[in-house]
């Protein structure tokens, strides 16, 4: 993965901590992590499972956020 900072490019990488929410839906518990540039979502069977996944999903979110624009692929 090429990072914009390593290539000397300026990238629109958000340095603020993203917002994280867990909400109950008809199909389960929805974990959403987002900032002004991107978001990730995952559905869980229980609120406790969603809470346990926050750290893992934050790492995924941060990895996706630092990719060079235009090089993103579906995960």
Q: Which of 55, 15, 9 is nearest to 35 (CA)?
A: 15
Residue at token pair 């929410």: 21
Residue at token pair 């869980």: 44
pLDDT of residue 75: 55
6 within some domain: no
13 within some domain: no
What total of structural domains would you count in the chain? Answer: 1
Residue numbers of the chain with a pLDDT score lower than 50: 1-12, 14
For the record, the structure tokens of 1 come out as 């993965």
44 within some domain: yes
Structural domain boundaries, residue 61: 20-65
pLDDT of residue 26: 97
pLDDT of residue 63: 81
16: DSSP letter: S
């Amino acid at each position: 993965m090429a990072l914009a900072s390593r290539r000397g490019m300026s990238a629109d990488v958000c340095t603020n901590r993203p917002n994280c929410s867990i909400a109950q839906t008809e199909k389960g518990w929805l974990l959403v992590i987002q900032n002004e540039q991107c978001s990730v979502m995952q559905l869980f069977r229980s609120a406790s499972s969603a809470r346990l996944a926050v750290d893992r999903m934050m790492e995924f979110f941060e990895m996706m956020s630092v990719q060079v624009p235009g090089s993103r692929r579906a995960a």
